[in-house]
Amino acid sequence: MNLSCPSCGEDDDLSGERVVEAIVVTCGACGHRWERSTKPSCPTCGTTELRTVPLAILEKSRGTQLSMVGTRPIDLCPTCDAETIAHWQKNRPNPLMPDEVPNLMP
């Protein structure tokens, strides 16, 4: 997630402090402070009504063989990621496969 100061655009010198249901972010460059929600949201449309689905974690095991070593949860937007959610629902209980797989060549 990209986060930058709404006042000066700084994206590196930022610090945050959790306060109840938000994080108060302070820009070290200009001193501007603002609240950011802790609830995940869609980077495209902004909705917070996301669907959490498992994404496979793949690693190279032997030769050119890939193995699924686990899963991690990802949040998908029911509007912007509708096609991906439909694909996952069709293939349940299998997790989604990542867009990029580990390079098999040394």
Model pTM above 0.75: no
Cα separation, 24 vs 29, in Å, equals 15
What confidence tier does 2 reach under pLDDT thresholds 50, 70, 90?
Answer: confident
| Long-range Cβ contact pairs of 1-7 (< 8 A, separation 24 or more) | 1/43, 3/36, 5/29, 5/30, 5/32, 6/32, 6/34, 7/32
Cα separation, 47 vs 45, in Å, equals 6
Give the pLDDT of residue 38.
86
Cα separation, 75 vs 3, in Å, equals 18
Cα separation, 34 vs 50, in Å, equals 24
Give the pLDDT of residue 63.
73
For residue range 57-79, what is the model confidence (pLDDT) as tens digits? 998 877 778 889 999 999 999 99
Sole residue written with tokens 């959610």: 85
For residue range 16-51, what is the model confidence (pLDDT) as tens digits? 999 988 999 999 999 999 998 888 889 899 899 999
Dig out the tokens for 75 from the structure: 């949040």
